[in-house]
Structure 1
Amino acid sequence: MFCRFVLSVNALFITSLVVGCTWVKIPEEARAVDIVEESRVASCRQLGNVTTQVKWKVAGVARNAEKVQTELDDLARKQALGLGADTLVRDRAEDGEGRYRAYLCERQF
């Protein structure tokens, strides 16, 4: 009985550590890609769409929503570089998936 309790506590502890981790690392230049509201890209040129995915649940436990969003945004910034974009507009993000539109604004704002 005591062993089962100890195993349960250990499992909860390990799960809480994993749920709090951030796994996404991006190049420094990707941090310069802005994520803005749609109203700010009226004079920009759309280059394409970006879709990103991260784990939003670990062992059936939902991860911190803010960390998941940060990871989705970071992955989108990295993909935007490949398109030659400097700006993103977030279309939606849920269940570990983010959808964005990529623009070249040449720092108009």
Structure 2
Amino acid sequence: MKNRNPSSVKVSNPVAAGSSRQAQRASGAQPWPWRTLLGVGMILAELWFNTGIIWGLFMLLWAVMGVLSGQTYIFEPLIKEEYPVLFWCVITLWFVIAGLLFISNPYIYGLISSAMK
């Protein structure tokens, strides 16, 4: 059966979806992309302080958001339903890299090693 209600049809064309977002933003109906602005601020802070913790936070956020949304990106979108093994390999990679970046920080390493004594 065909769906006769066009308002329930999802737009899969990113160009068309982006143009509607631009129109909403211009009209003031949609707020600024605060997550993107926060991410840019985090990148600038990491470049300034050079700790590795913020990159670890990025990897952790990418992994958690991937698990929650069922899709992740590594050069192209990976959807869990289409490529489940590859999806979980990439998510696991994000978690492992996040853990390694946290542990490589001397302060966090010191906390972990003192807690294990």
Give 1 or 2: higher strand fraction. 1
Q: Larger Cα Rg: Structure 1 or Structure 2?
A: 2
> Please, what TM-score do these two structures have when normalized by structure 1?
0.29
Give 1 or 2: higher helix fraction. 2
- Higher relative CO (Cα under 8 Å, sequence separation at least 6) belongs to 1
